[in-house]
Amino acid sequence: MVRHTAAMAFKLFSGIRPLTRACALRDTLAGVTLASMNIPQLLGYARIAGMPTVTGLYTGFLPLIAFALFGSSRHLVVAADSATATILADKLSGMAAPGGGAYMLLVGAVTLLTAALLLIARIFRLGFLADFLSRTVLAGFLAGVGVQVGVAMLGDMLGLSVTSSRTVGQIEQVAAHLALTHGQTLAISALVVAAILGFRAYKPAWPVSLVIVIAAIAASDLGNFAGHGIAVIGPIARGLPTLHLPRIGWRELPDLLTIAASCFAVIIAQSAAASRTYAERYGERVDENANLLGLAAANASAALSGTFVVNGSLTQTAMAEQAGARSQFAQIVFAVLIVIVLLFLSRWLQYLPHCVLASIVFTIAVGMVKPGTLHAILRESPGEFALALMTAAAVVAAGVEDGLLLAIALSLFRHVRHSYRPHTMVLTPDAAGRWQPEPTRPGLMTASGLIVYRFGADLFYANDHRFSDEIRQLVDQAPEPVRWIVIDAGAITDIDYSAGRSMCELCADMSARGVGIVIARVSAYLRADMDRHRITSVIGPQNIYSTLHEALDAVHPQTPRPE
């Protein structure tokens, strides 16, 4: 019993441990910097979700602590996010007036249902769903989110009113009202962007964003920015959230469950995308099932504390990484600072200009687009580069929700395409008489009367006809009669029913034409499949060269054997 308890305790705070004194000091500073950038941003997300402004701060309190307690990612920041906030506003605004008591109850219920779905996903260990996001698609997705976030900040940076929630609509509105740009707002935005990007290039460890936020609040208060037409955050309620369970009627449950399912789909994919991106960057491993538990706990605490759905945010995770955070200890510091702000400092936030916040987020968005990574993908695989661009374009044009679904679909398509059209080869002799693999084409032979053919994937219903057709073409268009075909099955581990029927038909066809088939390098799993499908061809030993020698002896015993 004691041993079981210790094992459970070891899994808690796995996104923090091990923690040295030097790491704690580093993450403390990163947490302070992260809070300076993120606190105003959380207020903006509350506005997007149609919730009272202070509830944005609530998402950075208990949910952050809950994820740090149960999650495994050292980098993922779980708090308010634009994607899920937009889903809530779009779906619930027709059921109740945003910001009202009824609306808040509906939001709380959706948040609790989302937590339940995430918990179910953890129970059934659905973390493997994150495996369907390839690195190529993740690079494109991250670039698309960077463009989307950067465009979303242009309105506040220019002092323009932008009402569209879609990137294309935001670009159109900014372009249409560009002549109305507020000069002072633009000047402040340009100064902030130049300062952050400049220090990032030459002094990346300096907490420039923190200094900028403090200076902006002081200047806004003393210089009455609001009186000069520069938009500021405005008054914020004070105090910690009260805990309560959201209650709704049974009639609303089906509609709310549908909305929760949309949030669940975005959370599970976006959180996996963010956690994997930064884990790969630092050579770490992430337990996605533990992250699901952390996300479920974070959303449950959000529902109980009167706020809205939280998500693993790519933007805020990028902020944390650039601030120097390397573990969830930075997020704990962030949560502590949220408490301090709620209790003592909330009145000062009202002076923070929107353009300063937008400019900080804009620089983060710039950093999310990695031209070097995209160029490396283009150099190594133009086809995969096209998939990355398609993902980025989908995020920009259709939004994060649809972009994520497309990212998963493209990753699956890429896998299926490789399985549908795998590499196939024929061993052919070179000038020195040694066998070398060559891409399959009609007319190739390994030796007189012999063809050695390799198929580079499992056989299933989508590719079995290609397998059979290529072998028939090799036999039909061979420069001389073929007596033996050796199939190198080293890459084949499974044969489904359709492929089994096709292989039996192929063996019968070749036998009728006087051509023997030998299947070499057959694993135990493949042998069981062949027995089940009653494939009666000769099955060769593990060593393909022994099989080749046997086939050569059967064709013409005196032929020299290549090494």
Sign (positive/negative) of CA torsion 322, 330, 86, 101?
A: negative
Quick: pLDDT tens for 37-63.
788 778 878 877 889 888 999 999 999
Residue 353: exposed, middle, or buried by beta-carbon count in 10 A (0-12, 13-18, 19+)? Answer: buried
Mean of all residue pLDDT scores within the chain: 85
For residues 53 and 236, the answer to whether their CB atoms sit within 8 Å is: yes
Task: Supply the pLDDT for residue 436.
Answer: 87
How many alpha carbons lie under 13 Å from residue 402 in its C-beta half-sphere?
9
Q: How far apart are CA 338 and CA 61, in angstroms?
A: 6
Percent of the chain with pLDDT over 70: 92
Q: Which of 174, 134, 179, 129 is nearest to 155 (CA)?
A: 174
Asked if residue 469 has pLDDT above 50, the reply is: yes
Q: What is the SS3 assignment for 516?
A: strand
Q: How far apart are CA 477 and CA 99, in angstroms?
A: 74
Q: How far apart are CA 98 and CA 89, in angstroms?
A: 8
Q: How far apart are CA 7 and CA 14, in angstroms?
A: 12
Q: Which of 373, 360, 370, 368 is nearest to 145 (CA)?
A: 368
Q: How far apart are CA 366 and CA 145, in angstroms?
A: 10
Q: How far apart are CA 272 and CA 286, in angstroms?
A: 9
Joined together, the tokens standing for residue 194 give 């130049």
Residue 222: exposed, middle, or buried by beta-carbon count in 10 A (0-12, 13-18, 19+)? Answer: exposed
In angstroms, how far is the first alpha carbon of the chain from the final one?
61
Higher local confidence (pLDDT), 454 or 87 = 454
Other Cβ atoms within 10 Å of 387 Cβ, number = 23
Residue 127: exposed, middle, or buried by beta-carbon count in 10 A (0-12, 13-18, 19+)? Answer: buried
DSSP 309: -
Joined together, the tokens standing for residue 505 give 């038909």
Which distant-in-sequence residues (6+ apart) come within 8 Å of 342 by Cβ?
Answer: 54, 57, 61, 238, 239, 240
Mean pLDDT of 145-153: 86
Quick: pLDDT tens for 8-21.
334 788 889 888 88
- Name the phi and psi angles at 487, rounded to 5: -100, 115
For residues 230 and 73, the answer to whether their CB atoms sit within 8 Å is: no
Task: Supply the pLDDT for residue 9.
Answer: 38
Quick: pLDDT tens for 231-244.
998 888 889 999 99
For residues 132 and 411, the answer to whether their CB atoms sit within 8 Å is: yes
Quick: pLDDT tens for 277-296.
888 888 888 788 899 999 99
CA distances 256 to 29, 306, 496, Å, are 40, 17, 41
SS3 annotation, 124-183: CCHHHHHHHCCHHHHHHHHHHHHHHHHHHHHHHHHCCCCCCCCHHHHHHHHHHCHHHCCH
Joined together, the tokens standing for residue 140 give 């494109």
Quick: pLDDT tens for 228-277.
999 998 888 889 999 999 887 788 899 999 899 888 988 887 888 788 88
- At 315, which amino acid appears? T
Q: How far apart are CA 267 and CA 67, in angstroms?
A: 13
Task: Supply the pLDDT for residue 548.
Answer: 57
For residues 445 and 480, the answer to whether their CB atoms sit within 8 Å is: yes
For residues 216 and 353, the answer to whether their CB atoms sit within 8 Å is: yes
Q: Which of 45, 79, 83, 46 is nearest to 65 (CA)?
A: 79
Asked if residue 401 has pLDDT above 80, the reply is: no
Percent of the chain with pLDDT over 90: 39
Q: How far apart are CA 469 and CA 487, in angstroms?
A: 14
Which distant-in-sequence residues (6+ apart) come within 8 Å of 292 by Cβ?
Answer: 118, 119, 121, 122, 126, 127, 268
Task: Supply the pLDDT for residue 340.
Answer: 94
Least confident span in 190-199, 282-291, 393-402, 554-563: 554-563
Q: How far apart are CA 104 and CA 127, in angstroms?
A: 30
Per the confidence metrics, is the pTM higher than 0.75? no
Q: Which H or E run contains 8?
A: helix 2-11
3-state helix, strand, coil in the chain (%, to 5): 65, 5, 30
Q: How far apart are CA 303 and CA 82, in angstroms?
A: 18
Q: How far apart are CA 549 and CA 274, in angstroms?
A: 53
Quick: pLDDT tens for 522-545.
888 888 888 888 886 655 544 555
The alpha-helical segments, DSSP class H, found in 477-555 are 497-512, 524-532, 544-555
Asked if residue 108 has pLDDT above 90, the reply is: yes
Task: Supply the pLDDT for residue 547.
Answer: 57
435-439 and 424-429 beta bridge pairing: antiparallel
The alpha-helical segments, DSSP class H, found in 241-370 are 253-281, 288-304, 314-323, 329-340, 346-349, 354-368
